[in-house]
Amino acid sequence: MKNLIITTATAITFVFIMGCSVNSKVTSTETVQNLNENFKVPQDVKNVLDNSCLQCHGADGKFKAKLKFNFENMAEMDNTKLISKLSKIDDVVSEGSMPPKKYVKKNPSHALTKADKKIITDWASSLAEEIIKR
């Protein structure tokens, strides 16, 4: 009798574990589907972001900056969120509020040139438009 209980308990545990792993498989495909295939970053854009933005908004960035805009998360955003972030990027770069003036004063080599600004704003606005059209 005791053996039967142990066997049954083991069987139940086994089924439970299998069930969990099936579940986690489902979750991981969902995550893959959420990965935004529309998020494309050409090399010239990457270079500018690397030089002027990712010190604060990248993986090793500053907490407050990452809270508002974490570049590493962009590929995982749904289209609505991605469009909204792209348009914010377009805004802050067009109006010249990013990178922050104080930072640029201390680190002039990280300032955006006119050409850099155009690369970022062209990319952000055209990518947002492209996603909207789909």
| Contact call for residue 88 and ligand HEC (CB under 6 A) | yes
Q: Please select the residue that binds ligand HEC; options are 77, 82, 83, 92, rule is CB under 6 A.
A: 92
| Rounded (to 5) percent helix, strand, coil in the chain | 80, 0, 20
| 12, 31, 42, 68: which one binds ligand HEC (CB under 6 A) | 68
Q: Is residue 46 within the footprint of ligand HEC (CB under 6 A)?
A: no
* Cβ partners under 8 Å of residue 88, min gap 6: 69
Per CB under 6 A, 86 contacts ligand HEC: no
Report the C-alpha gap between 8 and 103 in whole angstroms: 65
| Options 77, 82, 83, 98; binder of ligand HEC; rule CB under 6 A | 98
